[in-house]
Amino acid sequence: METLKRNLFEILIAVEFIVLILLSFVFFNRVEGKASKAENRYLAAFPELKNADGSFSDTFTGELASWFEDNLGLRDTYLTISGVINYNILRRSKTPRVEIGDNGFLYLADEGNLSLEASRTPEFAVKMPEYAKKLKTVSDKLSERGIDYVFMVAPGKPSVYPEYIASSSHRVEDTLGDVFYDYMTANSDIKVIWPKEKLINAKSNKEGQSIFLKTDTHWTTYGRNIAYRDITDRLNEWGYEDIRPADAEFYVPEDKFYGDLSEMMGPVKLNGDRLAEQDYIEWEPVSVNAEEIVSGEKYAEFQRLLSEKNIYNPELCNIYHNENASGLNVLIFGDSMIRVCMMPELAESFSDLTFVWSYVPDMDIIDLIKPDLVISEYGERELAIRLTDVDKGVAK
């Protein structure tokens, strides 16, 4: 009897497996360019058999396999179920790029993000003289044109909230940004903005607002407002003319906010919903005086240079003019910690502001904009990766 039950169970499993395979083929996606809701990306298109020159493509087999796997029927359903099981039962992320921490915090698990502690990356301190030399090359080239240079490091979430990392024992200690700031302060005349101390001090604010979004790699509105005001405060301390932070109003948006980490993880509910940020608030300037420049000869040349130099997403690079702000013309080379978090608020503080999504100050762009001040902004996890090439754009 037991043998019969076991055989029937095995037959049932086999039948279910065959049915799932058949359903995957029955519902095979035949729509080119379809987006996967579970993975927040477009599915692979059917590959070309031949290259433009008529030769057979040597990547056809691999691309065909990717196309087949991407377009199997019910793929999103299977991925959604997998995400639900992984997050709600196994308490782990479906993607190795995201780590589930304590107290609802998610962390980026690659790009060195969980190795920001100086003790985990000792080679960074060893290379600091080399990095400082490269930054001096940038500063000297700008100084020849009468342009000042400031370097900003945006602290990473593990630097401010190490206590919620679940994979190992992390604690508040010196991180790569601290090593960078301490070395540059002691050994260089380049001005550095490093708002970590202010952010950590604000963690105990009486309103109980978080400094970093739990489902995202970026600051909360509260955190980024602190960092934004630190920029204007430091520039005023260094003698720039009457730079005022914009008065901002805070509000609760109608739509849910899904952080970049929750997007990477995909659905965690059977209805396909992702982890939404709780108690999310936004901000905007009370009075908007800055105007974004989107036409004219200078703008056209700006876009041409961005395209020529393969700058990441030229649509996310901006030029602003503000008749009612300090007379400072500022050019920022940076990433999402500025572009996503502080634009266009920063535009309310300067008469002219240009943002380029790049880690390399480029002399052709600098000569076009003719700024008074260039700011390089790096996310903390980018320091060890990007500083090696920081002088590439001025080495001519």
Q: Residue 62: how many CB atoms within 10 A of its CB?
A: 11
Query: Which of these, 258, 312, 272, lies nearest to 98 by C-alpha position?
Result: 258
State which amino acid sits at residue 262.
S
The reported pLDDT for the residue numbered 39 is: 55
Quote the pTM value: 0.81
Q: Residue 249: phi, psi to the nearest 5?
A: -115, 145
The reported pLDDT for the residue numbered 170 is: 63
The reported pLDDT for the residue numbered 361 is: 96
DSSP per position, 166-234: -SS---S--BHHHHHHHHHHHH---EEE-THHHHHHHTT-TT---SB-TTSSSB-HHHHHHHHHHHHHH
Instruction: Report whether 213 contacts 219 (CB < 8 A).
Output: yes
Spatial separation of the C-alpha atoms in residues 332 and 343, rounded to whole Å: 11
Query: Which of these, 89, 88, 91, 190, lies nearest to 131 by C-alpha position?
Result: 190
The reported pLDDT for the residue numbered 75 is: 65
pLDDT, averaged in runs of 10, over the chain (396 residues) = 63 61 63 61 70 75 67 63 70 87 93 88 95 97 97 96 82 87 97 95 75 94 92 94 85 92 88 87 87 95 93 89 92 93 89 96 96 97 93 84
pLDDT in tens, 214-249: 999 999 998 999 999 999 999 999 999 788 888 888
Query: Which of these, 258, 219, 174, lies nearest to 340 by C-alpha position?
Result: 219
The reported pLDDT for the residue numbered 91 is: 74
**Greatest alpha-carbon span in the chain:** 91
Instruction: Report whether 383 contacts 363 (CB < 8 A).
Output: no
The reported pLDDT for the residue numbered 87 is: 78
Q: Residue 330: how many CB atoms within 10 A of its CB?
A: 27
Dig out the tokens for 194 from the structure.
Answer: 């490093």
The reported pLDDT for the residue numbered 164 is: 92
Spatial separation of the C-alpha atoms in residues 54 and 184, rounded to whole Å: 55
Instruction: Report whether 357 contacts 312 (CB < 8 A).
Output: yes
The reported pLDDT for the residue numbered 313 is: 83
Instruction: Report whether 172 contacts 162 (CB < 8 A).
Output: yes
Burial (0-12, 13-18, 19+ Cβ within 10 Å), 172: middle
The domain locations on the chain are 2-86, 113-389
CA distances from 343 to 6, 117, 316, 335 (A): 64, 29, 10, 11
Cis ω before 158 (30° cut-off from 0):
no
Dig out the tokens for 157 from the structure.
Answer: 């979430």
The reported pLDDT for the residue numbered 217 is: 95
Give percent of the chain above pLDDT 90.
Answer: 52
Dig out the tokens for 377 from the structure.
Answer: 């902004």
The reported pLDDT for the residue numbered 258 is: 93
